[in-house]
Structure 1
Amino acid sequence: MTTKLVIGLDGQGSGDRALTYAKDLAERIGECELLVAYVIEWSPYSFQTAEENAQRHKRREEEISTAMERVVDPAVAALKSAGMTASGIVRHGDVADTLNSICEKEGGHQIIVCRSSEGGFAKRLFGSSTANLVMSASVPVTVIG
């Protein structure tokens, strides 16, 4: 049976620590697949004009493309060059809910995130998102310092 680890990245240096931990854990496990995930925090509860709604989809697609190119693809390439089986995904949404949803949908066995960084995902995650993820995740969550 292949173990699947979901790694939540933030686009900052702390993501490297989460990747390093996940890579080391995957080597210990043996048959393992790594899924690099980046969540663009987004709330469906904002009020917008009709013009803003018309542009919203285009902006979301651009954000996903940029995050894949700048954050996820380089991480996946590094893991693959180290001999790992890896893929990547970018989604919009609440960080904790979206990471858990990705893990459930993709058959993940564990979520790995980092708690501290220069800002971005981990800064948001260290607050209520970390607590929400740890308390509500359907799989174990490892929070790297």
Structure 2
Amino acid sequence: MSTKLVVGLDGHGSGERALAYAKKLAELIGSCEVLVVYVVEWSPFSFQTAEENAERHKRREQEISLAMERVVDPAVAQLRDSGLTVRGLVKHGDVAETLSRISDEENAEQIIVARSSEGGISNRIFGSSTSNLVMSASVPVTVVN
């Protein structure tokens, strides 16, 4: 059985750092599968008009397609070109909860994310999603600077 790593991308340069670290770690491990994940923030509790609700499913599908095309597919191709076993996935939801759930469902050994420097002073330390993930994940979380 091979080791499985989940890499959470954010669509920014910090995601590239997480991807580079995951690549290095996967190469050191050897028999390893990398699951590249992008989570589109989506709250089930947002208030919307009737027109927005009618378009919700269509927007979700468009967001998934766009995230796969712009973020996940290039990352998967980059790792695959290095000879690694890779899959890509885009989901809607809370970033920390979704990455944690995926790692549990996939029996991953570790989650790799990067520290975000966007937002206020408290978010500069880790980022709210990252700190929530570190506190709640059932597997080790590596936070890359």
- TM-score by length of structure 1 reads 0.92
Q: Which residue number corresponds to residue 129 of structure 1?
A: 129
Q: Which residue number corresponds to residue 70 of structure 1?
A: 70
Q: Which residue number corresponds to residue 58 of structure 1?
A: 58
Aligned mates of 1:127, 1:77 — CA distance in 2 = 27
Q: Which residue number corresponds to residue 141 of structure 1?
A: 141
Structure 1 residues not aligned, in runs of 5+: none
Output aligned runs, 1:25-104, within 5 Å: 25-104=25-104
Aligned mates of 1:113, 1:101 — CA distance in 2 = 15
Contact 2:118 2:124 (8 Å CA) reproduced: no
Contact 1:13 1:118 (8 Å CA) reproduced: no
Contact 2:35 2:89 (8 Å CA) reproduced: yes
Aligned mates of 1:136, 1:46 — CA distance in 2 = 23
Aligned mates of 1:110, 1:126 — CA distance in 2 = 17
Amino acid at match of 1:73: D
Deviation readout 1:96-142 (Å, 9 max, x if unpaired): 001101111122110000003567xxx69933322211111010000
Contact 1:95 1:125 (8 Å CA) reproduced: no
Secondary structure in 2 matching 1:108: coil
How far does residue 60 in structure 1 lie from its aligned partner after superposition? 0.5
Q: Percent identity?
A: 73
Contact 1:12 1:117 (8 Å CA) reproduced: no
Structure 2 residues not aligned, in runs of 5+: none
Closer, same or farther: CA 110–75 of 1 in aligned 2, 3 Å: same
Q: Which residue number corresponds to residue 21 of structure 1?
A: 21
What do you get for the CA RMSD once the two structures are aligned?
Answer: 1.7
Query: Number of paired residues?
Result: 142
Secondary structure in 2 matching 1:70: helix
